Structure 1
């Protein structure tokens, strides 16, 4: 059975990712592992404190005891917070009949993913996290790091939930783009959507991009799909954004890295400004 790893911090963006994870799980016949990571930077280090050199020994022992008590209380609160967040995610996903496994770890999300992602088929996470209200123009720090270091397809979700009706494949002809087409053809829930295929070139007479688009269209048609193929001219990020708005696209599929500015696009303006979920394929 396939597995989806859903990363949550309980924020508004994370909660909006639950319906998307459920939709993909149902289409892929997959279970969902829900991961919450307690940030280790919030853990106190009372046991490691050596205060005897700066204050009296008796006062140091008393203070150290209080610090230990505070640390234990913080650990209990962190555990309770994790349980509430994980239980909320489980209730939202299991209500649709999807099998759910809850995972709580302490450390850093990126480090935890290194040991978990090998056994999953898709990673799902909100575009931004707990600090969303304080950094409205930026990607979440975890998203940035995971896109750079991850090795599995990653679905980045927005704050709002939209019905899945039309998907757009931003295709650049790279090996990653070709694997992305295969991912699309193998996913029943994606095949059932209205499929749009977009390649962006420097001019309407760009022969290489026209050939690239025609080859991708032929691959999808051979698999029984009927994509709406389009060659757009201009800056890639702006062309993608314009096409999404003009055709009311519900889901964007693109390679996380490729040979035509895809790295810049993913870390840059396309993902930041996109108000629909983006599936990044490695």
Structure 2
């Protein structure tokens, strides 16, 4: 059975990931796999070349002490990870009648998702991780890698949860954006929410079929067109209309493609304080 894969760490975004996941699971009727990735062991405690610095006995004692330190640190990371998963699972079960399976994994979220891809319907991750201080690091640093690697939709959640009542589709007329429209229409995830469709750069004529498809699927649709760069137009539309979620296709043939292959992705995440749903 297809599941929802939610990735959490100890950051302030963990609660929001859990809340968005519970909301999505309620709409999709799918069970949740809640994942905490421990990361790879680092080499910070590895000793320098001690071959000429210490006596053999001293070298052995130091290496043994370092090994014990690494074992203790690994055990604490596992204990902490289980506590994070327990708290996250409890939060989701309190919010919705859903099935949640916790999973502690060594490695990073990208590796975990790749292993789960065939059974994953939707993946969720926070915009920033626990090591972030206004920048995308730790989980946040994996965003572009995860989006690139995923063959499933990825929801990148904002700091706080609110029920999604409106969403904006950035539409460039390309195959990827068209697929995103189709996926929205075919999925129960956003049913009942009001749709907004934005084109930027003189492509309003290509919006007609997308708008008609959304309306045929039962969505109320508002159309927007803006000249200039898509990043600025999207951010302005989100602010002006109180958009609750941004929906994007993973790649396209226009400037919108830049949203998924470079620093523009991170910039858009920063300037749009709403969750972003990215369809492959």
TM-score by length of 2: 0.90
Distance in 1 between the 2:164 and 2:241 partners?
A: 13
The equivalent of 2:277 in structure 1 is 279
- Provide Cα deviations, 1:196-238, integer angstroms capped at 9, x if missing partner: 1111124xxxxxx232101111212232333112222222111
- Residue 137 of structure 1 contacts residue 272 of structure 1 at CA under 8 Å; is this kept in 2? no
- Residue 130 of structure 2 contacts residue 139 of structure 2 at CA under 8 Å; is this kept in 1? no
User: 1:10 Cα deviation (Å)?
Assistant: 1.9
SS of the equivalent of 1:121 reads strand
The equivalent of 2:242 in structure 1 is 248
User: 1:75 Cα deviation (Å)?
Assistant: 1.6
SS of the equivalent of 1:6 reads strand
Q: How many residue pairs end up in the alignment?
A: 275
Structure 1: gaps (5+ residues): 203-208
User: 1:190 Cα deviation (Å)?
Assistant: 0.6
The equivalent of 2:228 in structure 1 is 234
| 1:49/1:114 CA distance change after superposition, 3 Å | farther
SS of the equivalent of 1:133 reads coil
The equivalent of 2:39 in structure 1 is 39
Alignment equivalent of 1:213, drawn from 197, 207, 216: 207
Quote the RMSD (CA, aligned, Å): 2.4
SS of the equivalent of 1:42 reads coil
Distance in 2 between the 1:191 and 1:250 partners?
A: 13
The equivalent of 1:199 in structure 2 is 199
Deviates more, 1:256-265 or 1:36-45: 36-45
TM-score by length of 1: 0.89
| 1:42/1:139 CA distance change after superposition, 3 Å | closer
SS of the equivalent of 2:209 reads helix
- Provide Cα deviations, 1:221-271, integer angstroms capped at 9, x if missing partner: 232333112222222111111111111110110112111122322441222
SS of the equivalent of 1:129 reads coil
How do residues 171-186 of structure 1 correspond to structure 2 at under 5 angstroms?
171-186=171-186
User: 1:139 Cα deviation (Å)?
Assistant: 9.0
Quick check: 1:65 aligned with 2:33?
Answer: no
Alignment equivalent of 1:222, drawn from 216, 222, 233: 216
- Residue 7 of structure 1 contacts residue 34 of structure 1 at CA under 8 Å; is this kept in 2? yes
- Provide Cα deviations, 1:106-162, integer angstroms capped at 9, x if missing partner: 123222222122210111000011122253799921112212222211101111222
